[in-house]
Amino acid sequence: MRSLRYTIKSIAILILGLFLLLIPRDASAAVPTKRILVLFPYESNMPGFLNLDNGFRSVLSASKDYQFELYLECMDLTRFPDERYYEKLMDLYHEKYSNPKMDLIVANLRPSLDFLERYGPESLRQVPVILSEQDPRLLGAPLEVPVAAVVTDVLDVEGTLALAMRLHPDVRNVFVVTGASQFDRSLEGMARERFRNFESRVEFHYLSGLPMEELIQRASQLPEHSLLFYMSVFKDGNGKAFKSPDVLALIAEEANAPIYSVAESYIGSGIVGGHVLSHTAHGARVAGVALRILRGEKPGHVESSDGSGIQYVFDARWLKRWGISKEKLPPGSIVRYREFSLWETYRWQILGIAAILFIQAFLISALIVSLRKQRLADRALREAELKYRTVADFTHDWEYWSAPDGRLLYNSPSCERITGYSSRHFMEDPSLFGRILDPEDHAIWEEHVRANPLEHPFRTIQLRIRTPDGSVRWIEHVCRLVTDERGEFLGIRASNRDITDRKNAELEAQQHREALAHVTRTVTIGELATSLAHEINQPLTAILCNAGAAQRFLSANPPDLDEVRKILSDIIQDDKRASEVIQGIRNLVKKEPSRRETVRLNEAVQETLALVRTASPLEETSLVTELDSRQPAVLGDRIQLQQVLLNLVLNAAAAMKDTPQKSRQLVITTVVQDSHSVMVSVRDSGTGIDKDFMDRLFEPFCTKKVDGLGMGLSISRSIIKAHGGTIGARNNPEGGATFYFILPMDI
Ligand code: ADP
C-alpha cells in the first residue's frame, strides 16, 4: 500500500516536472517593459504620421534593453474643435493611462504638446515628454513647461522652391497653398518668412484659408508661368476639416500648373516632387531620443536634424505630365511611380517565358526532325522490305524463315512450284515439310536438324520430297542461323533449290559411265580372251590328264584307290581354278548397278593379278606385290576398283612391250598413308609418260596407241572420284611410270 502511494507520488512529480518544462519560459521576463503614449493632434491614417509611426516602431523593436507597450492616440483636434470634447478626451486618457503609468509621452507636433499642457490630467503631466516637430520654425512660442527633449527635422521650403525654379526657369508666379487650421497657418507663416529671399525673382500669391471650391477653382485658372507650392490644408476657409493629402489630390486634378511640396508623404498625391522630409527617418530619430531618455539621460534640448531625413523625391507620373526630363533632376534623386516598361516590369517573367518558348520550340523542332527521320526510316524500311519481299517472293528457290519456336515467319510462294503445296499450307502447318520428305531421307533430315548449327553455320543437304501427285523431286536444302547483333537466336533462314533435273542428269551420266565402263571391261576381257582361254584350258587339260590317269589306276588290279583319291583331289583343285577364272570374267562383264561394300584392297589386287598373270601382255614380266599387312579396306564397288587396277596393270604391260625381258618389272603396292587413307600404286619399268602428254593423261580419248580408245584412264579417274579419292601419275627417276590412286579408308 505504501509503495503504491510512493509510486503515484513519483509519477505526479514527474508529470509536474514535464509540465514545467513544457511551459514556455517568458524570455522577456528579464527585460523591463516600457509604456509609451504617442499623441498625434489630427486624425489617424495621415500618411505622414503613419510613416513616422513606422520609423518609430522599427527602432524600438530592435532594442534589446526594453520591451515596449505603445499606445497611440490620434486626437482629431481639428475636426472636433470643442472644449467639451477636449475635456472628455483627457478624462478618457486619464482613465486609460494613470494606471499603469506611462514611462514616456511623444507629443507629435506642437498642437499635441499644447493640448497636453492645457488639458492633460495630472497623471500624464508627470510623465517625461518628447516634442517631435517637423521643423524648428514650427515650434512656435517658447515652451511654458519644460520637456524631456525636442526633436525637430527640416521642412526645406527654400530648397524645394529653388529646385522648382530650376526645373521651371520661366516661372513668374508661385501660388502657396495653405489651409485655415492652426497647423496650416503655422506652415503659412514659415513659408512667408522663408520665401522672402525669392520675392525679387518671382511673385508669391498665397491661397490661404480659402473655401475648398474656391481653392480648386483658383488652382485651375492660374496664369502662365506659375507653379503651386503646397504646404498643408487640414481645414478650409469654411472651417471644414480635411485630410491634407486628399486636398492636394483634388487640387492636382484640376490645377493648370505643377505642384511642389516639402513632405515625402505628399509624393503620390499630386506633387511633382521636392526636397522632402522623410517622416519615417524622423520617426526613427524620435525613437532614438526616446531610448536615451528611458535609459536615464536628460537631453532636455532641441535635437535638430542632421539633414539625413531629407532627400530629392519625385513622382514620375507628374514629371511626365509637366514634361520635365529626368536628366534635369538633381543627382541622387529618387523617382517613384515610374511607369516601368513591360520589359522592366516583367523582365524575369518574359525571360522565363522566352526560355520556355525557346525550349519548347527546340523540343518541337527536335521532335519534328526525329519524326521526319523516323518517317524516312519507316519509308526506307518499307521500301527495303518491299524490295526484299519482292526478291524473295519472285525468287526461283523456295525460301523460308522460321522462328525459334518453329513457326514460319516467311515462306516464299515458289514453294508451290517445287512441292505442289501452297505457301499457306506450310505457314499453317510447319510439320508439312517433314511429312513430304521421302522416307529414305528421313535419317539425313533428322541428323541435319540435330546437328549443332554453331559448328556448321551453312549446312547443305540433298533430300527427296514427294509432291501431291506422287512424283519425287530432289531439293538441295541450305540453311543458316539468324542472330541479332548481340548473338540472340532469331531463327533459321533456309533456301530449298529444286535440283531434280540436275540429279536426274547425274543419274543418267552415272548410268552412261557405268555402261561405258562395262563396255570397256568387255573390250578388255575380249583382248584378254586368248590368255584367258589358256588360263581355263590349263586346268581343263590337267583335269583330262588326271581323269585318264584315274581310269588307269582304277583298271589296275587291285585298283590303286589311294592314287585315284589323290588324282580326284587334284581334279577338284583344277576345276576350282577354272571356275574362279570364269567367275572373275563373269564378274567383270556382268552389268550391275554400282554397289557400296567393304573392299579389301590386298584381295582385290590379288584377284586382278590372278586374272592377268598368265595373260600375254604380262608374259615374262616379273610381278611383285608389296601389300600393306594392315589389310586396308575401302568402301566402294569391288568390280569398279578392280577395273581401275586392271587398266593400270594392262597399261603398264603395254608400256613395257619394248622393254628387254629381264628388265620388265611390275610392282603393285598398297600402303596405308595415315590412319585415314590408303594409296595403291602400279609401278612399271616401261617407256614412261611423254612429257607433253602428262597434263591430258586422264582426259577422254587421249591415247598414244594406234588401236587405243583413250578411255581407260578417264574411266578410272571418274571411278576413283566417285569413291571420294584422287588418281595421279608420275615418271620414275629410274625409268618407267608409276600410276597411283588414293582412297579414303573404311575404318
Ligand atoms: P589407251 O590405253 O586406250 O590408250 P588409256 O586411257 O588407258 O587409253 O591410256 C592413255 C594413254 O596413257 C596411253 O595411250 C599411254 O600413252 C599412256 N599411258 C598409260 N599408262 C601408261 C604407262 N604405264 N606408261 C606410259 N604411258 C602410259
For the stretch 521-532, pLDDT in tens is: 777 777 666 667
Q: Is the pLDDT of residue 314 over 90?
A: yes
Tens of pLDDT, residue by residue over 270-280, are 999 999 999 99
Per-residue HEC secondary structure of 696-729 comes to: HCCCCCCCCCCCCCCCHHHHHHHHHHHCCCEEEE
Give domain limits for the chain.
29-156+270-354, 165-261, 391-498, 502-593, 596-747
Å from CA of 584 to ligand 1 middle? 24
Section 139-153 average pLDDT: 87
Q: For domain 29-156+270-354, which CATH number applies: 3.40.50.1860, 3.90.1150.10, 3.40.50.2300, 3.30.310.50?
A: 3.40.50.2300
Q: Kindly indicate whether the domain formed by 165-261 is annotated with CATH number 3.40.50.
A: yes
Å from CA of 696 to ligand 1 middle? 11
Contact status, residue 258 vs residue 228, Cβ threshold 8 Å = yes
What are 733's three cell numbers? 627417276
Q: Is the pLDDT of residue 78 over 50?
A: yes
Rounded CA-CA distance 159/156 in Å is: 5
Which numbered atom of ligand 1 lies nearest the CA of 684? 23
Tens of pLDDT, residue by residue over 88-141, are 998 999 889 888 889 999 999 998 999 898 888 888 888 999 999 998 888 888
Which numbered atom of ligand 1 lies nearest the CA of 697? 12
How much of the chain is in helix, strand and coil states, percent to nearest 5? 50, 20, 30
Residues in Cβ contact with 159 at an 8 Å cutoff, skipping those fewer than 6 apart? 275, 310
Sheet holding 67-74, edge to edge: 67-74, 33-40, 104-108, 129-133, 149-152, 302-303
Evaluate: CB of 90 within 6 angstroms of ligand 1. Answer: no
In CATH terms, the fold of domain 596-747 is Heat Shock Protein 90 (3.30.565)
Å from CA of 535 to ligand 1 middle? 25
Tens of pLDDT, residue by residue over 451-469, are 776 666 667 899 999 999 9
Å from CA of 655 to ligand 1 middle? 8
Q: Is the pLDDT of residue 316 over 80?
A: yes
Model confidence, pTM: 0.46
Fold agreement between 165-261 and 596-747: no
Q: Is the pLDDT of residue 232 over 90?
A: yes
The mean-pLDDT minimum among 322-336, 397-411, 674-688 falls in: 397-411
Evaluate: CB of 736 within 6 angstroms of ligand 1. Answer: no
In CATH terms, the fold of domain 502-593 is Helix Hairpins (1.10.287)
Rounded CA-CA distance 372/380 in Å is: 12
Cα separations (Å) of 157 from 229, 260, 282, 310, 564?
Answer: 9, 10, 17, 11, 180
Q: What angle do CA 489, 493, 496 make, to 5 degrees?
A: 155
Q: Whose CA is nearest to atom 7 of ligand 1?
A: 712
Highest mean pLDDT: which range of 11-15, 324-328, 508-512, 615-619 = 324-328
Q: Is the pLDDT of residue 304 over 80?
A: no
Longest distance between any two alpha carbons in the chain, whole Å: 206
Q: Is the pLDDT of residue 392 over 60?
A: yes
Section 335-348 average pLDDT: 83
Evaluate: CB of 131 within 6 angstroms of ligand 1. Answer: no
For ligand 1, pick from 524, 713, 714 the residue to mutate: most ligand atoms within 8 Å of CB. Answer: 713
Section 487-498 average pLDDT: 88
pLDDT at 578: 83
Q: What angle do CA 80, 240, 135 make, to 5 degrees?
A: 75
Section 212-225 average pLDDT: 95
Q: Which of 246, 244, 309, 314 has its CA nearest to residue 280?
A: 309
Stronger pLDDT, 231 or 591, i.e. the higher one? 231
Å from CA of 703 to ligand 1 middle? 6
Evaluate: CB of 655 within 6 angstroms of ligand 1. Answer: yes
Evaluate: CB of 250 within 6 angstroms of ligand 1. Answer: no
Helix, strand or coil for residue 626? strand
The mean-pLDDT minimum among 369-373, 594-598, 718-722 falls in: 594-598
pLDDT at 52: 93
Confidence category of residue 614, pLDDT binned at 50, 70, 90? low
pLDDT at 740: 97
What are 731's three cell numbers? 615418271
What are 581's three cell numbers? 577364272
pLDDT at 8: 47
Alpha-carbon radius of gyration of the chain: 70
Which numbered atom of ligand 1 lies nearest the CA of 715? 6
For ligand 1, pick from 516, 691, 703 the residue to mutate: most ligand atoms within 8 Å of CB. Answer: 703
Q: Is the pLDDT of residue 47 over 90?
A: no
Evaluate: CB of 667 within 6 angstroms of ligand 1. Answer: no
The amino acid sitting at 385 is E
Q: Which of 525, 517, 475, 480 has its CA nearest to residue 498?
A: 475
Å from CA of 662 to ligand 1 middle? 22
pLDDT at 270: 94
Å from CA of 598 to ligand 1 middle? 29
In sequence order, which ranges of 556-637 are alpha helices (DSSP H)? 561-589, 601-612
Å from CA of 671 to ligand 1 middle? 24
Rounded CA-CA distance 612/80 in Å is: 165
What are 338's three cell numbers? 515610374
In CATH terms, the fold of domain 391-498 is Beta-Lactamase (3.30.450)
Å from CA of 654 to ligand 1 middle? 8
Contact status, residue 134 vs residue 265, Cβ threshold 8 Å = no
pLDDT at 17: 45
Section 374-386 average pLDDT: 87
pLDDT at 342: 80
Which numbered atom of ligand 1 lies nearest the CA of 711? 6
Å from CA of 710 to ligand 1 middle? 7
Rounded CA-CA distance 664/619 in Å is: 10
Q: Is the pLDDT of residue 601 over 90?
A: yes
Å from CA of 690 to ligand 1 middle? 10
Q: Is the pLDDT of residue 231 over 90?
A: yes
Looking at every residue in the chain, the average pLDDT score rounds to: 87
Q: What is the DSSP letter of 688?
A: -
Highest mean pLDDT: which range of 389-403, 409-423, 443-457, 613-627 = 409-423
Tens of pLDDT, residue by residue over 633-691, are 999 988 889 889 988 998 998 899 899 988 999 999 999 998 899 999 999 999 999 98
pLDDT at 684: 97
Which numbered atom of ligand 1 lies nearest the CA of 682? 23
Per-residue HEC secondary structure of 294-334 comes to: HCCCCCCCEECCCCCCEEEEEEHHHHHHCCCCHHHCCCCCE
